[in-house]
Each structure stands twice: as C-alpha cells, then as structure tokens.
Structure 1
Amino acid sequence: MSFLTVKTVVILLGFSALNWILEILKWQNLVSYFKTITFYEAAQQSLGSLTASIFTPNRIGEYGAKMLYFPKQNAKIIVLLNFISNTTQLIVTSLFGIIGLLNITTVFHSEIYLSLFIAFAIIMLLISLKNIELFGFSIQRLLLKIKQIPQTILKKNGIYSVVRYLVFSHQFYFLLFIFDCNLEYSTALFYIFSMYLLASIIPTIHFMDVAIKGSVALFLFSKLGIENWKIVTITSVMWLFNLVIPVSIGSYFVLRFKPVKA
C-alpha cells in the first residue's frame, strides 16, 4: 500500500510539524502582549500544557497548565490569552464549517439544519452565561479585555489560526488522496470542513477526540461511498500524528518542568 512509503510518512510529519509550529507561533505572538519569550519557551508551554490537558474536557486543563509557567500575578492575563487563542481557532473552524455545511445540504437535509441549530443554541447559551466567571473572569469581562490587546497581535493570531486550519484540513485531504478515495478537491474540502465543525460542538475528553471525529467522519463520508475502514484509518492516523506525537514530545517538557517562583 502506497500509504506505507517513507515519502508519505515524511509528508505527514511535515504537515503535523507545520501544524504545531503555527500553534507555537500563535502562543509566542499572544504572550508578546506582556512578555517576550523564545520559540523554544513557547513550544515548552504549548506542548507541555497539551500533555497536561489531554484527559480534561475540551482541553480545559490547558488554562491551568499554562499559568504554571508564569508568576501568579500573570494568571489572569494567561487565561485571557489562552481564551483568545482557542476562541479564534474555534471561530475559524465555525466559519469554514458553515461554508462546508451549506455546500453539502443536497446530501444532508434535516441533519445539517439540526447541527446549525445546535451551534446557534450553544452561541446563545454562551451569551446568556456572559457573567459566569472562569478563573476570575466572566465572558463579558474577557471580551472587554480583548479590546485592550493591540490589533497587530490579534491579526497575527487570526492569520496563524486560518493557516493552521488549512494545514490540518489539507493533511486530511492528503490522506483521502493516498487511500484512493477519488473525491473532487472541492467536495472533499467541504466535507472535511463540515466534519471539523460538527466534531467541535460535541464535548469530549481531548485524548478521545479520535472517537468523536471518527464517528462524524464515518457519518459524513459514508454518503460518498467511502469504505468505513479507510475513514477509520485516516482519522486514526490524524490522531496519531497531531496528538499522540505532540503529547509524547510534551511529556518530555512536563517531566523537566520546574514551577516559576512567584
């Protein structure tokens, strides 16, 4: 099988490396709001916090893990910056996902509209909970604080988020191509965009994200006649390259971690 070639593995590693380089650059850029850190320090914090949060719902543990790398007086700003990072990526996922969903409504009808309704309901719920506090911040206060961040930092964060999304989306497309799924480029991307949006609105423990994405992918791509074993294999490979390998690297940083003195 062509998938097993060294060239294919190298390309997959290249996609994953670029994916996480962009995530690290996002964090380095955001932290520059109050402190200059090196790329290596940003990598330690990004991958270490990923490892520490894999068994928490929707990576909520990442907030607490990143705070440990900074003095206590910086705790609230770290929560704010991590919120911006994650929320921007979610917004990008939602925008591309809506584009995808709107382009596959000829195949899915009630399911698509139900998914859009659920996404809308979640947004309304968040708005209604704007005064609920998280690590000393309410959503309303977080939004007010975001306005204080320089626009250059926020724009770079948005660009990194978009490029990162396109990287792992095309990594999935590359795997569809490798497994001879015979899909048109635009069709494949619309389904990939839809998959990531639908998977993102389902709460899950991050380490088990493969089960959610795998189930959603099976639901969507089965309509295109793609064999189930191919989709399961592709989502498993994505999980291996984009989570298991980074977590393994992050484990090294976690073992060497020394708490910052206040």
Structure 2
Amino acid sequence: MKINKNIKIFFNYFLGPLLFLWLCWSIYNQVRNQDDLAASWLQIKDSFGSSKIVYFIVVVLLMLANWLAEAYKWRLAIKDVQKISIIRSFKAVLSGVSFSVSTPNSIGDYVGRVLYIDEGKRIKAATITVINNLSQLLVSLVMGLTALYFLKDAIIDSHMVSPIWFETVFYGTGLGTALLLFFYFRVSWMVQWIDRIPASRKFSWSIEALEHFNATILVRLLSLSVIRFFIFIIQYYLLFELFEVDISFWQTWMGVSVLFLILAIIPTIAIFTDLSVRGTVSLTILGLFSNNQLGISLTSVGIWLINMILPALIGSVMVLGIKKIFKSKNENA
C-alpha cells in the first residue's frame, strides 16, 4: 500500500506538474513564433467587441445541452438499477465532472455519479457507467478513425509521422475499436458467460445488471453519444469563428475528430496535463488547416474552461450538498 501511495504522490505532485510545464512551454513557443501574432491578437480582441460575442454565449448554452444529453443517457442506462429524475441525473453527471478533472483519465467520474445512487446499488451503477462511457468512447474512436482516413495524405505530407507509424496506429486502433464494438453489443452474452465461471460468482452480482442491455438500449446510447459528439464539433467551430481561425466546418470535424481520437488513446494524469495535452495536440492537428495558432490555443482553452471547469465548479457545489445530506442522516441516526 505504501508503494502505491508513493507512486500516486510521484504522479500527482512531480510528473504531472513537470509534464504540464513542459507542454505549456511547447505551446508558448509555437504561439510566439506565429507569423503576424500581433495582428491575430488584435483581431481576437475586436471579435469580443463585435456581434460575434453571440458565438461565445451559444457555446455556453451548448455546454448545458451537452451535459443534459449525457444526463439523459446515464438515466436511461441505469433505469433497471434505480429510476431517477433527469434533474438528479444532471446533478450526478456534474458531480462526476467535479471528481474527474483531478483524477487520471477521469476515473473520478464514477465516484461522483454514484453518490446520487442509493447505498447497495452503487457498485452496479458504476458497472453500468462503464458501458455508458464506452458508448461515447466508441463514437470518438469511429469518428476519429474516419477523419484520420481522410487526413492520411495531409498528415504524412506534413511529416508529422512516418507512413509506417501512421499505418500501425490506424490499423491497430481500428482493430481495438472493432473488439470494443463486439464487446459492447455482446455485453449481456459476456455477463452470462462470466457467470458460468465458478471463481466469478463472488462478484457476478455486481455485473448482473448488464444483462438487461439489449440492442435497442445500446443503439440509443450510441445515438445520444453521436449527438453529444456533434455538439462538441459545433462548439469548436463557433469558437474558431470567434477567435478568427479561418477553418471550414468540414475541416473542424476532421481536426477535432482526430483530436478526440488522440485524447482517447493518450492517458492524462490530471487536470493540468489534460489541458496541456489538448493544447499541444490541437496546435499540431488543427495547424494543418490554419496558421492562427493563437486562435487555436484560445479555442482549446475556451472549450476546456466551458466544458470542464465550469461544470466542475457547479458539480463541486452539488457535492457539498450531498455531504450535508449524509451528515444530517448520520445525526438523525
């Protein structure tokens, strides 16, 4: 246990901040070396004083729509374990965001959500949340691979990676995605298969809720994940317009899809490395379409602040409310 604790301290307090500083320095150098940096900054300041500020307001409203869609999706996924209202589900999702921003690869999301589930059902709810999140991951992988196919020549011609490395990543990720899709649509069958193993009976109760996942529910989860994905794309496109990044909607879809694919593959340690990785990858991929690296960086930071930090702050307040409820229950006992 002490070794695990030391490893956690190393990642959280040494390696994480070190990676953050290194990636931030890399982003700073790329922005600083941009041609006509002063002109780009002037254009961006003018945008905030023009009618384009409406784009920013719409992006914030889309953030609410995005998390409401996720709340509806999670509510649909856990209905056989516990029926909850859309408001309670929305609070659970925001609570999950508040936990996820400071944990590796958003692991804390599961903890934050199950706080809103009754005791005795939380492990089952966490197991279902894995499938719920898998639906979003699958959409990111499929969209990313499709975009990667269209951008193959541009990526290789820019010497971003070698042709052999590109083929390895493309087909390797494609194989992994195919396996995940098989697992996703055969989840009830796999639960029944695991249940036949004698050694698994000690924990089989925790995954028995997955048997209720039929094709209809799984497709609905994927459909809602697609809606959420395109909300992200629209948000990026609107902020590109606000920050004077000359890029089409088609190019936005391709660039952001590859960005999400890379973010899905690359592990992030915590909140700051997530931001710096997003910024570095955004400049690399979206730099294929625009030289306005300042605008791309500001878009990346803007998306991070609006979609992650703002919901996390709201979720943190809601978590305080949960603690008060638990405290009052204990006092009454």
TM-score computed with the length of structure 1 as normaliser = 0.84
Contact between 1:54 and 1:205, CA under 8 Å: does it hold in 2? no
Out of 228, 243, 246, which is 1:182 matched to? 246
Q: 1:74 to 1:25 in 2, by over 3 A?
A: same
Give the match for residue 220 of structure 1. 285
CA offsets, 1:103-162, max 9 Å, x none? 0111112364353256358669999xx99x9xx57xxx96x8644324443232111111
Looking at structure 2, the residues matched to 55 and 196 of structure 1 have their Cα atoms a distance apart, in angstroms, of 19
236, 242, 248: which one aligns with 1:172: 236
SS at match of 1:180: coil
Q: 1:96 to 1:206 in 2, by over 3 A?
A: farther
Distance, in Å, in 2 between the alignment partners of 1:39 and 1:124 is 32
Structure 1 residue identity aligned to 2:122: A
2:86 paired residue number: 39
Name which one, 1 or 2, has greater alpha-carbon Rg.
2
Contact 2:245/2:296, CA 8 A, preserved across alignment: no
1:197-212 equivalence runs, <5 A: 197-208=261-272, 209-212=274-277
1:33 touches 1:153 (CA, 8 Å); kept in 2?
Answer: no
Higher mean C-alpha deviation, range 81-90 or range 168-177:
168-177
Of 39, 47, 54, which aligns to 1:2? 47
Matches within 5 A, 1:1-262: 1-3=46-48, 6-109=53-156, 110=163, 112-116=166-170, 119=173, 146-208=210-272, 209-257=274-322, 258-259=325-326
**Would the alpha carbon gap of residues 118 and 218 (structure 1) be closer, same or farther in structure 2, given more than 3 Å must change?**
farther
Normalised to the residue count of structure 2, the TM-score between the two structures is 0.68
| Contact 1:175–1:234 (Cα < 8 Å) also in 2 | yes
Shift of 1:62: 2.0
d(CA) in 1 for partners of 2:270, 2:139: 19
- For 2:239, the aligned partner's letter is L
In structure 2, list runs of 5 or more residues that go unmatched: 1-45, 157-162, 183-189, 195-199
SS of the aligned residue for 1:223 comes to coil
CA contact (8 A) 1:107 1:223 kept: yes
2:177 and 2:247 mapped to 1: Cα distance?
33
CA distance in structure 1 between the partners assigned to 2:326 and 2:261 by the alignment = 36
Greater per-residue helix proportion:
2
List gaps (5 residues or longer) in structure 1.
Answer: none
Secondary structure at the counterpart of residue 246 of structure 2: coil
The size of the alignment, in residue pairs, is 253
- C-alpha separation in 1, matches of 2:216 and 2:49: 43
Higher deviation after alignment, 233-242 or 9-18: 9-18
Q: In angstroms, what is the RMSD of aligned CA positions? A: 2.9
Q: Secondary structure at the match of 2:67?
A: helix
Cα 1:3–1:94 change in 2 (3 A) is farther
Deviates more, 1:30-39 or 1:233-242: 30-39
In structure 1, the residue corresponding to 2:104 is in which secondary structure?
coil
User: How many angstroms does 1:229 deviate by?
Assistant: 1.1
Are the structure 2 counterparts of residues 233 and 100 from structure 1 closer, same or farther at C-alpha, using a change threshold of 3 Å? same
AA partner of residue 46 (structure 1): V
